[in-house]
Structures are given as structure tokens and as C-alpha cells.
Amino acid sequence: MIRIHDALPQSLQRLVPCLSSKPWEQKHVSSGFYGLKSQTRHAQKNLSVAVFPSRKKSLARSRTNVFYAQSKNVFQITRDQMDKSRGPWEDSSEALDLDNVRSTLIRLEDSIIFSLIERAQFRRNDAIYQPDAIPVPGFDRTSGVRYSLLEYILREHESLFGKLRKYTSPDEHAFFEDGLPHLVLPPLNYPKVLSKDHDEINVNDTILRIYLQEIVPSITERGDDCNYGSAATYDVMCLQAISKRIHYGKFVAEAKFRANRETYVPLIEKQDAEGLMALLTFPAVEERVVKRVRNKAATYGQDIQDELVEGIIQQEVKYKVEPEEVAQLYSQWIMPITKEVQVMYLLRRLEDEPPSESRNDAT
């Protein structure tokens, strides 16, 4: 847990605390598409602070003023000025810097690999995936067939977390959108970073199919150990981590589009999917991703002893998940589907903008 005060750039540390000596009350720490973000509210001064430690940037807002600090500089603007300066798109240039977006993809690798390791400790347990094999209290509306245990747990999970507005976040996608509940918390006003209707792009059907047909068989041993609840719970974790990573392709695509608009626009206008795919593909980056996830799977998937033996990586090790399986999962499925999401997103990227000859001038 970061200490808010420590995370503030020095200049804002000097400016903001002098308004009162009362301690700051921490309200909220979250990680979103801006990276780790903390929000605090200063009860006495009605001042709230949002800190983006990884960006060395913070915002302090009162009812009338906004202090914006970056590195050693502090700017003060009125809320009015801030509202007027906001265009239809938020200034998310920093958040959408390709290096920052890629660092989120790197962080998501850890969630995927850890969930796979957890799932792999149990047998395949095919009964989890067969409709009607386990008597869950849920039936398909059209066919009347009882859900599989996995579908039941996934629907229940989405129903609970959906109430807490999980699926209103632009980086979350439900597997069963038909089952999403009413919100019990009011919707949040997310900054507009992605283009309109981006939420119509949802490839979770493909992800679920690949997970069941390819991934589960590659990471688990055949057989049934009756640990249905645990195994299905980790299936949900794996699916959600993979889904988040793949749909993050929308942010990757938006970053690439903003950085290289004049090259993307003609391809989008021609609806040239192949051209877009070629433009957004970086084989050297893909090679590095595969190497890195192989190394991570080898490192996280070992039993680490209290005494580290030199050269442990080279020793005969029984990995919890074969590093090569994780490498292949990335090269065969995760990266190709992430790229498909990028192409789908880009093909629709200009729908949000007025048709104009001066498209290349828009910011």
C-alpha cells in the first residue's frame, strides 16, 4: 500500500498539506487504465487528490480550484477553465502512450500465469464443463438445458460483481452479457478514451472456446479429483485474466492510432483489415513477449527454497505449468486474438468522427 503523502510530487507535498495539518483520509486505491491510482479526500478542506505514482503526476481539486502537479511544477487552474479546456476526448495522451499501455500488458501476464498455475494443481475434471453433469440451479433460457458448473459460476460471478459496476469499466467485458444485473452503485463517469461503441467488441465467446478446447487440456492432467469447486473457481480467474488482456487490445489500438493517425486513417477508410493487421504487428515485440512469459512461467512455477541454489533455473525442475505451454498459449492464441481485437476496433475507429476531408487535422 502506498502512502499517499509520499506519492505526491514534492511540489504538491509542500502546497497541499499546508492547507491543514489534519491527516488525509484515504478513500480509494485502484488500478485502472491510468495505472495505479489513489484518491484521497481531505474532509476539512473538501479537497480531493488523485495520485498517479507511476506517472509522477497528481491532481488536487477543491470546489473551485484544481492544482495539477507534474514533476516539480504545480499549476493552478479554476474548475471552469478545466471544464472548458476539455474536448470531447479526454487528454489521456500520457495514459495512451504505447509504452504505458504495453506496461499494463506486462502486468497482466502475471495475473494470467498465476491463475494458470493455480488451475493446474487440479485434474482436468471434465464434469465441470459438461452441461447438466453437476446439478447446479440454473438453466439455459432457450434450450432448457442445465448449465455446466463453469457457466453457472461464471454467471454468478458476473451477476455479483456486475452489481458493483465492474462491467461499466471500459477494460472489463462480461462473458454472459445477457445475465448482467442492475447496478447497486451509480455508474461512474469514465473519461472518454476509447471510441464510441467500443463495448460492442467482445470476443469472450472465442476466448471461452479456446480455453476449453486448447488451454485446459494443455495445462492439466487428465482425470477427476472431485475438486470441482476449486478448479472451476480458478477457471473463472484464468478466463477473466485472459479476457482482460485480450480486450486491452482496444487501448493498444487507440494508442497506435493516436501516434500514427495519418497512416491509419487511409487504411480505415478503405476498411483494409489486412493492411491494419500488418501495420500494428511488431514481430520483434512478439518475440520478446514470448520469451518473457516463458521465463516468468519457469520462475513462478518452481518451488523456491529458503536457500537459493546458484543456477537453480538450469536444474531439473518440475514446473507447476510447463513454461513452453505458456509460451505457446501466448504465441498461438493470446497475441493473435489481441491483434484481432485491435483490427476490429480500428475498423470502426472513425465512426465516432464527423466525415471530413480534414480528418488528419483533428486531434
**Interface residue list for ligand PRE (CB under 6 A):** 102, 105, 252, 280-282, 285-286, 289, 335, 338-339
Toward ligand PRE, which CB reaches closer, 172 or 286? 286
* Shortest Cβ 66–ligand PRE spacing (Å): 33
* Shortest Cβ 109–ligand PRE spacing (Å): 9
Beta-sheet pairing, 65-70 with 73-78: antiparallel
Question: What are residue 48's DSSP bridge partners?
Answer: 41, 61
* Shortest Cβ 231–ligand PRE spacing (Å): 27
* Shortest Cβ 91–ligand PRE spacing (Å): 22
Do residues 224 and 125 touch, judged by C-beta distance below 8 A?
yes
Do residues 37 and 59 touch, judged by C-beta distance below 8 A?
no
Toward ligand PRE, which CB reaches closer, 47 or 280? 280
Toward ligand PRE, which CB reaches closer, 250 or 320? 250
Residue 330 gets which letter from DSSP?
I
Toward ligand PRE, which CB reaches closer, 214 or 286? 286
Residue 55 backbone dihedrals phi, psi, to 5 degrees: -100, 0
Write down the residue that cell numbers 509504452 correspond to.
99
Toward ligand PRE, which CB reaches closer, 57 or 349? 349
* Shortest Cβ 116–ligand PRE spacing (Å): 17
Toward ligand PRE, which CB reaches closer, 8 or 289? 289
* Shortest Cβ 47–ligand PRE spacing (Å): 38
Q: Rounded distance, CA 147 to CA 38, Å? A: 40
- Output the CA angle 76-77-82, nearest 5 degrees: 140
C-alpha grid cell, residue 210: 479456446
Do residues 179 and 82 touch, judged by C-beta distance below 8 A?
no
* Shortest Cβ 345–ligand PRE spacing (Å): 11
Toward ligand PRE, which CB reaches closer, 146 or 256? 256
Q: What are the angstrom distances between the C-alpha of 152 and each of 40, 115, 233?
A: 38, 19, 11
**Rg of the chain on CA atoms, in Å:** 23
SS3 category, 66: strand
Do residues 7 and 38 touch, judged by C-beta distance below 8 A?
yes
